[in-house]
Amino acid sequence: MLLDFDAMREVTVPNMNGGEGEIRARMHMVPEGKTIVTRMAPGSSIGNHLQATSFDINYVLSGTGMATCDGVEEELRPGVCHICPPGSMHSIANTGNEELVLFTVVAEQPKEA
C-alpha cells in the first residue's frame, strides 16, 4: 500500500494533550494504529499523556526538540527515534528555531483474551 502524505488533508490541533501552540498533522488511520507526519512550530508542544494501549514511535525528519518519557528527557534531532511503550507517559516539545517534523507510527497492541 502506498501512502501519499502530500495528498492527505492536513489537520490543525491546538494545545494537543494540553501542550502549547498547535500541531499540524497528516494521518492514515486503521484499527491497528496510525501513521502520521506531524509538523510543530517553534515553541509548540504535545502535552504529557499516557500511551495506554500503543507504542508511539517518533522518527525525527527535521528540526530539534525534546521528548520526555516517564520523566527521562531525550534530545530530538534528525535521524533519531523516540519510542514510548504502552503504559508510559510522554510529551514532545519543539525547542528549536525551525519546524520540528516527525514521522510517527502508533502501533496498537493486541488485547489479551
- Domain assignment of residue 70, yes or no: yes
pTM of the model: 0.91
Name the amino acid, one letter, at 7. Answer: A
Domain assignment of residue 44, given as a range: 16-108
Calpha distance 40→21 (Å, rounded): 8
| Confidence category of residue 112, pLDDT binned at 50, 70, 90 | low
| Interval 40-56: pLDDT, tens | 999 999 999 999 889 99
- Domain assignment of residue 78, yes or no: yes
- Domain assignment of residue 1, yes or no: no
Q: What is the CATH number of the domain that holds 69?
A: 2.60.120.10
- Domain assignment of residue 40, yes or no: yes
Higher-confidence residue of 61 and 53: namely 61
| Interval 81-101: pLDDT, tens | 999 999 999 999 999 999 999
| Confidence category of residue 1, pLDDT binned at 50, 70, 90 | confident
Structural domain total, the chain? 1
